[in-house]
Structure 1
Amino acid sequence: MIKNYFKIAWRNMIRNKAFSAINIVGLALGIAACILILQYVAFELSYDNFHKNGSQIYRVKQDRYNDGKLSTQWAAGAYAVGNSFRDAYPEVEDYVKLLRRGVSIIDFGEKSIKVEKIYIASSSFFSIFSFPLLSGNPKTLLTEPNTVVLSSSLAKRIFGNENPVEKTVFQNKRKPFKVTGVYEDMPKNSHIKADLLVSYATFLNNVKPDNPETAWQWDGCLTYIKLRPGTDPARLEAKFPALVDKLAGEDHKKYKSAAVYLLQPLRDIHLYSHLMMEPEPNGDGKTVYLLLGIAFFIVVIAWVNYINLATARAINRAKEVGVRKAVGSLRSQLIGQFMTESVLLNGLAVVLALILVALALPKFNDISGQELSFKLLGSKLFWLPLGGLFLIGAFFSGLYPAFVLSGFKPVAVLKGKVSASSRGILLRKSLVVFQFAASLFLLVGTLTVFQQIRFMRQQSLGINIDQTLVINPPIIADDSTFMRQMAAFKEELLRQSGVKSITASTVVPGQPSDWNAGGIRLKGADESLGKQYRIIGVDYDFLQTYDLKLIAGRNFSKDFGHDPKAVVFNKMAVQQLGFSDPQQAIGKEINFWGEIFTIVGVTDNFHQQSLKDAYEPLIIRLIPDVRGYFSVKLSPGSSGNAIASVQSEWNKFFPGNPFEYTFLDERFNDQYKADQRFGQVFGIFTGLAILVACLGLFGLASFTTAQRTKEIGIRKVLGSTVYAIVEMLYREFAVLVFISFLIAAPVAWFAASQWLDGYAFRTGIQWWLFAAPFVLVLLIALLTVSFQSIKAALMNPVKSLRSE
């Protein structure tokens, strides 16, 4: 019987090629889109889930407060946290400290390898985290000073096929380190990605006589703790304030800068943490689940299409059902037949969907920024969702048409009296309303995303980043001669016609300033009035090079002998200091960690980072010999020749240092890459949703015109024009789109408002963001039904009114 079901299903599919093709393509598009999104979502949700004790590992997040107001939130907080918590609370089994370090050159023999991702790690690193070791003892790898552990790819680059353990490498041609082990490259779904680990004991040796283990005001240390099984993290977290107050209370009271420590589950960090000093740029949980919602919409729209198309063919198959019932077929057998057709079509759609995914995956990776592959074919994480999609789709999309078709009465069918029920018509129209409401929602969302990105890129930054070449800081430099090298390098560049100006700074626009200084106050003011500021260290030419607008005071100048102790505030920093008028701050002296500096100027607020972030209180501090990024302002049209000249001078003054540069406008706009990728992914799947919905609308148009063929014939006989008939059919579908708009608009407005609330500087929600999608979807819908409507209106009424 089953074999017969499939044989009949195949014959029906071949006999109705157009309907079958539309069904299979619609289902395949929906399933393919769903598979792509599910792979993306599965990867994002898989971050850090490979650690054996992942459910027991938490990162200690630090929130700092000034006068009771939240001022900064840190992924990397005070150095004293880990050891203090372990000593005080038996619930803490172990801890590890991590410090992110800058780029270094690692030398071995004649090889010099640039290494970007370097961390200082305490000795428990491999005991807490489950990064596989290829050689070395996890308990002793990072215990001694001046020892390092290498990733397997870095070890291969430096040593080839030699065993690196016990060999000595040099950092920046000077400092020796002994290699004690090698670990497998950290996976892409880890929020920590290190190429080289340096022992924490090395750091402790280098900072003597200071003792970081008791430092509660010294931020910058990532702390992870492993809790004992059965520990309630919320109860443990509630104990932290008492201990912190006991150990650091005096400092907190002195500076009115209290710190609160909270536990972040390791597996939540990637999607839900966007704090200062994150090890890597993290993902966005809202985006992931929104894409999951889109996947659900698209695949449901595809299933709805099957229902609409199957019921549209019900009239054509009514006599088949009547004959089958007349010769003894049971309803259960008919249901089995139609469910078999659904299984066959869904099965073919899955095969086509896999082909589409294989073709689309490279492009999808380019857009999403991930590296998804068909390696998932060997994983149940791939096959379980795919099998679920197939079974759910085949069952639910086939269930309603099977019951409708099998429910026809043979006597009525064979007499030609079959007609659609009002409940069936209402259901089909409701499904189309759902399809277009979902499409309108997605379209409004897509336009909102692109409008916000456009808004951020077009706003004035308050700082000039055009024609600016940024060179990464030199890695190898002699401290005693660096000032002379830098001065000579700048002097040589300024002689070139293509170079307008050059400056050096600790960070450039588009970078967060991780130099956070607390306790800064007016000279003579009580210590309790100290506030936190973000600091940018610059040379004399920074303000001029970046065209920063001074609203009070002056620029840094070598004409003033005290300028090495000079600072420039931005407008927000002056307000935080207590001055409503920037002019009042000029000449005032501040206490900066025990040193006295003079405020010589105030700039207008400018965007140091993207427009996602609010203005921060910034202090621009003069450091004449600052070792940082070089910003070279080029003359228009001279970039090609100028870059070659700059590189030549760089190699002369900073030999051994790689010449790495970017253009600042591109670098700044890189901050919006995640939003742009999200917008592109959103847009692509919105287009697919509309395309699949239109296939469903085609099915409803086919059904409607088939049902109203005789009505149309009578209208033509009575004198109705083709235009009037087409308008009548259009009106019905236009009403459905309008109802869809009424449902989608408030939901889309709420969702867009929630999404835009995540931006400090945001575009408004304008009326055209809703009107344009409505008009577009209406036009698409009318064009979709035009073929069927015009064909029905042009039909010869003699044929439509003929009775067999």
Structure 2
Amino acid sequence: MLKNYLLVAFRNLSKNKAFSFINIVGLAIGMAACLLILQYVSFELSFDNFHAKKDRIYRINQDRYNNGKLSTQWAGGAFAPGSAFKAALPEIEDFVKIVGAGQALANYKDQKMVIKNDYFAGASFFNIFSFPLISGDPRTALKEPNTVVISEEVAQTLFHNIDPVGQSLIINSNRHLKITGVMKNLPVNSHMKFDFLQSYATLLKDNPPNKDYNLDNAWLSDGCTTYLLLRPGVDPKILESKFIPVVKKVYDAYKSAGEGGVYTLQSVQSIHLYSNRMLEFQPNGDGKSVYLLLGIAIFVIIIAWINYINLATARGIGRAKEVGVRKTLGSAKAQLITQFMLEAMLLNGLAILLAVVLILICLPGFSHVSGLQMGFDMFTRPIFWGSMLSIFVLGSFFSGFYPAIVLSSFRPVEVMKGKILASPKGVVLRKAMVIFQFAASIFLLIGSLTVFRQLKFMQNQKLGVKIDQTLVIKPPLIKVDSFYRDMSAFKQESLTQSAIKNVTVSTSIPGEPVPWNAGGIKLTTADQSQGKQYRIIGSDYDYLAAYDLKLIAGRKFSRSFGDEPHSVVFNKKAVEQLGFNKPEEALGKRIDFWGQVYTIVGVVDNFHQQSLRDAYDAIIFRCIPDVRGYVSVKISTSNLPKTIADLKKTWSSFFPGDQFDYFFLDQHFNDQYQTDQRFGQVFGVFTGIAIFVACLGLFGLVSYTIVQRTKEIGIRKVLGATVNSILTLLYKDFAALVVISFVVSAPSAWYTINKWLQTYAFRVDIDPFLFLVPFLIVMVIAFATVSYLSIKAALTNPVKSLKTE
């Protein structure tokens, strides 16, 4: 019988070529889209799963408050909590402190390399995290001062085929480090990114304790990321509650509400998708977006399965006689179900083979759009084949089971009476499934349009700071005592070039978080408890003018005033946080900044230091004439290659041996939106695929409907019906389904996009346009699909139509 079932299945496929093509292509596209998205989602969900102790590794997150109001959320906070919590709480097995060291210029003999991700890490690092060493002892590699563990890539660049362990290299021309280990390059699904791990003992050696300050036990100095290894069975929420008395005892001693901090635990596995804090290792992903894409994958594959169910049950009327004959000859219902399930498996099998071909063709394009480098090695991963097998099994069952039950239930006696044609249950179910397809399409279109509008809004919004025509040179890495003199001379020499309009040096630039955070800042006349958190940007005299920040009160920094290093400029948000309603009220006021007194000489308007996802920061500008940091060069773009070449030559003459590492600020700022842009592109592409698959199903269903009503159309034409009236007759049912679909999808779409938009501090409004346009698009697509076939049927000669059986 199996041979007979397969033979009949192949005959049905070849007999109904159009329907077979629509079914196979629709399923294949749905499967390919689903598999690609599942690979993307599985990658995003796989971050930090490779750590052997992942279930017990937690990061200490720090929230700073100003008088009960959240001001700063840190991934890397104070230095003290790790040591203090370990000493006070036996539930903690181990801990490690990690501190950013910026960039470094590494030298080994005649080999040089810029290390972009340089960190200090405690001796327990390799006990907690599963980053294997190629050579070296993980227990002692980070124990002693002036030691370093390097990555495989650094080892290959500087040492080629020599074993680096035991060798010494020089960083920034003034520090010798002994290499104690070579670590395998970090997996791409790690939330950490580093190439160079200096021992934390090195940092403590450079910052020895004195009677007033001990960096390792500091509660008010931020910048240290701390990870805990909990003992087996410890509940992190219960452990968090035990932090409170330890912290309270410390902060009570400071008697400063402005310095208060709250410490919480975050699982290492959740950091990539659910953390966007100060001092993250790199920009993280977005859990909501990932699960939204997973929802799209489910929508697409369900739409493809619905197409099969709709077409199979609609075509079932044409197979009623086949079922009647089989039953008359003795076929049992179970045998008929087996036959139709085998047909579904055959069709799903052909579809999944075509899906693999589509994936091979589309993989490079998908990798480009998603930003995920998915090579053909994905076909070697068990998760890919597991996903494919699951889709095949589920698809065969869900798409085949209902049609099999319906078709096997035909009663031979009633088949010839045509009662199956009048069965309302099948019609209602098919309409319900079409409604689901259109509802899903409208939902996805609303989401896609919202993402597009939000991205456009962020990119076109005025920033309040001038970032165009700005070339930024990264800070010099080689430390020299004559830095201020050399930088001053570099600026003067550069400004002699007609293409260079301004040069300024600052600790921060627009487009990234301000790393200098200071708490406890208050008016000199205020109580200590009024101290608050501010972001600090240190700059020379020219920063405010070079970036064209709008002055709303007072003045900017100027060399005309002799005591500018004791002057500060606030932005509007910082003035409001200080307690003033009008910017003018703050002028001339003096603030206490960690025991030093500074005078407010000016107020600039709020500006977007980062993307529009973030709210305005309270920023204080300090004039530091000898500041080390980014060098921002305002240039003319008329002859850019020559300008850059001249600038590089000037740089090399004043900073010999240092790297001329530069980028353009507008591109750097827009890089913040890269994740959002990729999400928008992926969302848009798969929304289009979902609509296309839905239209394939609609095309097939309309085709079959018209075949069933061919004689009716012929009779109507003979009786005088026009093409328009026949078109209206055929279209009105589908138009009603689109309207119902919109009513079903609009509330859930509104809820979803509202939740998504709330993650942005500055966002577009939800207006009727976001709903009306997707509704009209789906209506037009449905109309075009129905019209093409309906007009063709309406124009057919009535004589041919009346001959149809």
| TM-score in same-fold range (> 0.5) | yes
Question: How much has 1:605 moved relative to structure 2?
Answer: 0.8
**Alpha carbons 2:220, 2:259 under 8 Å: kept:** no
Describe the shift of the 1:194–1:42 C-alpha distance in structure 2 as closer, same or farther (beyond 3 A). same
For 1:795 and 1:538, the matched residues in 2 are separated by 79
Instruction: Give the SS at the match of 1:313.
Output: helix
**Alpha carbons 1:576, 1:617 under 8 Å: kept:** yes
What is the 5 A alignment of 1:473-552?
Answer: 473-478=475-480, 480-552=481-553
String of CA shifts for 1:638-673, please: whole Å, max 9, x gaps: 433322221221122222222222221111111111
Q: Which residue of 2 aligns with 1:29?
A: 29
Question: How much has 1:677 moved relative to structure 2?
Answer: 0.7
Describe the shift of the 1:322–1:795 C-alpha distance in structure 2 as closer, same or farther (beyond 3 A). farther
**Alpha carbons 2:258, 2:533 under 8 Å: kept:** no
Question: How much has 1:28 moved relative to structure 2?
Answer: 0.6
Range with greater deviation from structure 2 (466-475 or 673-682): 466-475
**Alpha carbons 2:710, 2:804 under 8 Å: kept:** no
Q: Which residue of 2 aligns with 1:757?
A: 758
> What count of residue pairs does the alignment treat as equivalent?
802
Letter in 2 for 1:290: L
What is the 5 A alignment of 1:390-405?
Answer: 390-405=392-407
For 2:750 and 2:613, the matched residues in 1 are separated by 20
Letter in 1 for 2:250: L
Letter in 1 for 2:61: K
For 2:628 and 2:310, the matched residues in 1 are separated by 68
Letter in 2 for 1:618: I
Question: How much has 1:796 moved relative to structure 2?
Answer: 3.3
Describe the shift of the 1:333–1:654 C-alpha distance in structure 2 as closer, same or farther (beyond 3 A). same
1:245 to 234, 248, 259: 248
**Alpha carbons 1:428, 1:700 under 8 Å: kept:** no
Question: How much has 1:635 moved relative to structure 2?
Answer: 2.5
For 1:415 and 1:282, the matched residues in 2 are separated by 65
**Alpha carbons 2:103, 2:115 under 8 Å: kept:** yes
Letter in 2 for 1:607: H
Q: Which residue of 1 aligns with 2:689?
A: 688
Question: How much has 1:420 moved relative to structure 2?
Answer: 4.4
Q: Which residue of 2 aligns with 1:228?
A: 231
String of CA shifts for 1:77-110, please: whole Å, max 9, x gaps: 1111111111111110000110112111111111
For 2:524 and 2:416, the matched residues in 1 are separated by 100
**Alpha carbons 1:204, 1:211 under 8 Å: kept:** no
Q: Which residue of 2 aligns with 1:57?
A: 57
Question: How much has 1:374 moved relative to structure 2?
Answer: 3.7
**Alpha carbons 1:469, 1:662 under 8 Å: kept:** yes
Matched residues, percent identical?
A: 58
Question: How much has 1:600 moved relative to structure 2?
Answer: 1.1
Letter in 2 for 1:29: I
**Alpha carbons 2:251, 2:259 under 8 Å: kept:** no
Question: How much has 1:714 moved relative to structure 2?
Answer: 2.5
**Alpha carbons 1:311, 1:703 under 8 Å: kept:** no
For 1:375 and 1:249, the matched residues in 2 are separated by 57
For 1:748 and 1:36, the matched residues in 2 are separated by 24
String of CA shifts for 1:334-383, please: whole Å, max 9, x gaps: 22111111101101111111111122122111111112234343333222
For 1:786 and 1:412, the matched residues in 2 are separated by 34
The reply on whether 1:92 has 2:95 as its aligned counterpart is no
For 1:411 and 1:787, the matched residues in 2 are separated by 38
Instruction: Give the SS at the match of 2:421.
Output: coil
Q: Which residue of 2 aligns with 1:218?
A: 221
Instruction: Give the SS at the match of 1:84.
Output: helix
Q: Which residue of 2 aligns with 1:280?
A: 282
String of CA shifts for 1:15-73, please: whole Å, max 9, x gaps: 22221111111001101111011001101111011111110111011111111111111
Instruction: Give the SS at the match of 1:548.
Output: coil
For 1:463 and 1:787, the matched residues in 2 are separated by 53
Q: Which residue of 1 aligns with 2:116?
A: 116
Question: How much has 1:319 moved relative to structure 2?
Answer: 2.4
Q: Which residue of 2 aligns with 1:73?
A: 73
**Alpha carbons 2:258, 2:519 under 8 Å: kept:** no
String of CA shifts for 1:124-143, please: whole Å, max 9, x gaps: 00001111111111111111
Q: Which residue of 1 aligns with 2:260?
A: 258
Instruction: Give the SS at the match of 2:264.
Output: strand
For 1:424 and 1:793, the matched residues in 2 are separated by 26
**Alpha carbons 2:535, 2:618 under 8 Å: kept:** yes
Describe the shift of the 1:146–1:267 C-alpha distance in structure 2 as closer, same or farther (beyond 3 A). same
Instruction: Give the SS at the match of 1:779.
Output: helix
Letter in 1 for 2:27: L
Q: Which residue of 1 aligns with 2:467?
A: 465
Q: Which residue of 1 aligns with 2:377?
A: 375
Letter in 2 for 1:222: T
For 1:405 and 1:256, the matched residues in 2 are separated by 73
String of CA shifts for 1:118-169, please: whole Å, max 9, x gaps: 1100000000111111111111111100000111121111111111111111
Q: Which residue of 2 aligns with 1:787?
A: 788
Range with greater deviation from structure 2 (297-306 or 7-16): 7-16
String of CA shifts for 1:220-269, please: whole Å, max 9, x gaps: 11100111111111111111110112234212x23532111101011111
Instruction: Give the SS at the match of 1:256.
Output: helix
**Alpha carbons 1:501, 1:633 under 8 Å: kept:** yes
**Alpha carbons 1:312, 1:702 under 8 Å: kept:** no
Question: How much has 1:415 moved relative to structure 2?
Answer: 5.7
Q: Which residue of 1 aligns with 2:734?
A: 733
Letter in 2 for 1:183: M
Instruction: Give the SS at the match of 1:419.
Output: helix
For 1:668 and 1:214, the matched residues in 2 are separated by 36
**Alpha carbons 1:307, 1:398 under 8 Å: kept:** yes
Question: How much has 1:13 moved relative to structure 2?
Answer: 1.1
Q: Which residue of 2 aligns with 1:656?
A: 657
The reply on whether 1:359 has 2:358 as its aligned counterpart is no
**Alpha carbons 2:173, 2:479 under 8 Å: kept:** no
For 1:4 and 1:431, the matched residues in 2 are separated by 32
Q: Which residue of 2 aligns with 1:419?
A: 421
Instruction: Give the SS at the match of 1:544.
Output: helix
Describe the shift of the 1:589–1:638 C-alpha distance in structure 2 as closer, same or farther (beyond 3 A). farther
What is the 5 A alignment of 1:180-195?
Answer: 180-195=180-195
Letter in 2 for 1:270: H
For 2:250 and 2:500, the matched residues in 1 are separated by 54
Gaps of 5+ in 1: none
Instruction: Give the SS at the match of 2:784.
Output: helix
Describe the shift of the 1:416–1:511 C-alpha distance in structure 2 as closer, same or farther (beyond 3 A). closer
For 1:6 and 1:208, the matched residues in 2 are separated by 81
Gaps of 5+ in 2: none
For 1:803 and 1:645, the matched residues in 2 are separated by 83
What is the 5 A alignment of 1:106-145?
Answer: 106-145=106-145
Q: Which residue of 1 aligns with 2:594?
A: 593
What is the 5 A alignment of 1:191-202?
Answer: 191-202=191-202
Letter in 2 for 1:559: S
Range with greater deviation from structure 2 (158-167 or 655-664): 655-664
1:448 to 441, 447, 450: 450
String of CA shifts for 1:410-447, please: whole Å, max 9, x gaps: 34434666514111111111101100100000001011
For 1:672 and 1:382, the matched residues in 2 are separated by 30
Instruction: Give the SS at the match of 2:48.
Output: coil
Describe the shift of the 1:775–1:10 C-alpha distance in structure 2 as closer, same or farther (beyond 3 A). same
Q: Which residue of 2 aligns with 1:553?
A: 554
Letter in 2 for 1:242: P
Letter in 2 for 1:98: I
Letter in 1 for 2:360: A
For 1:566 and 1:417, the matched residues in 2 are separated by 91
For 1:662 and 1:168, the matched residues in 2 are separated by 31
The reply on whether 1:2 has 2:2 as its aligned counterpart is yes
Letter in 2 for 1:287: S
- TM-score where L is the length of structure 1: 0.98
Describe the shift of the 1:417–1:518 C-alpha distance in structure 2 as closer, same or farther (beyond 3 A). closer
Q: Which residue of 1 aligns with 2:302?
A: 300
Q: Which residue of 2 aligns with 1:569?
A: 570
Instruction: Give the SS at the match of 1:648.
Output: helix
String of CA shifts for 1:296-354, please: whole Å, max 9, x gaps: 00000000011112123223322222332333322222221111111011011111111
For 1:636 and 1:795, the matched residues in 2 are separated by 65
